[in-house]
Amino acid sequence: MILRLVLQSDFGGEKRYLDFQLYDTQIVKKIMESLDRAKADAHSSVVYRIDQSFKKSENSSLKLAKEMNDVIAEVNEIGETSIPNSDILDLEIPAHLQPEKLNHLHLIFQLYTEEVGVNHDATQQLLERVNILVHMLETVPTEMDRVLIVAKQEFYRPGSFEGIDMSLSEEDYESKLPWGMWGYLELDYNTVGKDLAACFGTSDVALATQHPEELRQQTTYSPAFAINFDQGPEHKNTEESDYLKMEEYYVWCNEHNVPLPFTSPEYRVGRIRLGEVIQEFTMEDMHKLVIDFPNIVELKTLNDK
């Protein structure tokens, strides 16, 4: 079976496709069923975002750090919640080298959103931007070639759908592997918060060890997908690179005495993999595709038998 993302130009004419060969796993079957059920609703629609960065870009790390500080000032001016001055980014230091500040900013977003709900008020909407900026800044400088696509059908974070249990099973977690670097279709995290693997990826030792109760492991699935195209196809994961990343994760958890059963399936590092892109692209191809066709108008399954 194939999942097709239908991309359309801004003027509603031409379309292009991203096709993914789906794995033959139970979690894939369950998610595709949820996609079909969601699309059967007359009010169903695709919610998506496409994040793009370039080696040479005006959208630099410094520019994003300045934006972060501006958003912090707006949040504090409204006064519904307060972001301490200690979280304001130092513009003389690369943002990804200030993980304590970024991690605390993410926690503020998480706690406020859990308290009031998504799109509750102007503060929550500003904190959504804080969340996106954190993810853009936290691991590496933004001056690199990358396209990240997140596409969701209908529901934002369903716990159930027409009486169907949307909980992830232990078997589902076995499909969880290190984050895909090129062309892997993954189940989007689609959860407010941060899981243990994200703490590892952002060196957030404080959250993982001092406040593990604030971690939010993904427990449900939905028709929500994420695809990363990072630097070029030569960066695609291999069995060896996946193994080494998993070993690195377990070493990190052991070294920091993480007080959680991190060898359990639900704590595996990465995201649940669902399939792989069929077409061959270069990084330049991907940049051009999402510039010329920036709208995702449909998610559809195709039978390739």
Amino acid at position 125, single letter: Q
Coil, helix or strand at residue 122: helix
Burial class (CB in 10 A: 0-12, 13-18, 19+), 162: exposed
Count of other CB atoms within 10 angstroms of residue 229:
29
Which regions in the chain score pLDDT beneath 50?
A: 156-157
pLDDT at 58: 53
pLDDT at 156: 42
> What is the pTM (predicted TM-score) of this model?
0.78
**Each residue's pLDDT tens digit, 233-259:** 999 999 999 999 999 999 999 999 999
**Each residue's pLDDT tens digit, 123-169:** 999 998 998 888 878 766 656 788 999 999 975 445 555 567 789 99
Q: E strand or H helix at 239, and its extent?
A: helix 239-255
- C-beta separation of 151 from 300 below 8 A: no
pLDDT at 276: 97
Distance CA 188, CA 144 (A): 22
pLDDT at 57: 58
Closest residue by Cα to residue 285 from 18, 47, 102: 18
pLDDT at 13: 77
pLDDT at 117: 83
pLDDT at 56: 63
- Cα of first residue to Cα of last residue in the chain, in angstroms, is 7
pLDDT at 19: 97
Distance CA 73, CA 67 (A): 10
DSSP assignment of 49-87: EEEEE-SS-SS-HHHHHHHHHHHHHHHHHH-SS---GGG
- C-beta separation of 81 from 105 below 8 A: no
pLDDT at 99: 84
pLDDT at 75: 95
**Residues whose CB falls within 8 Å of the CB of residue 225, separated by 6 or more in sequence, listed in order:** 3, 149, 150, 151, 152, 185, 186, 187, 188, 274, 299
DSSP state of 157: S
pLDDT at 140: 60
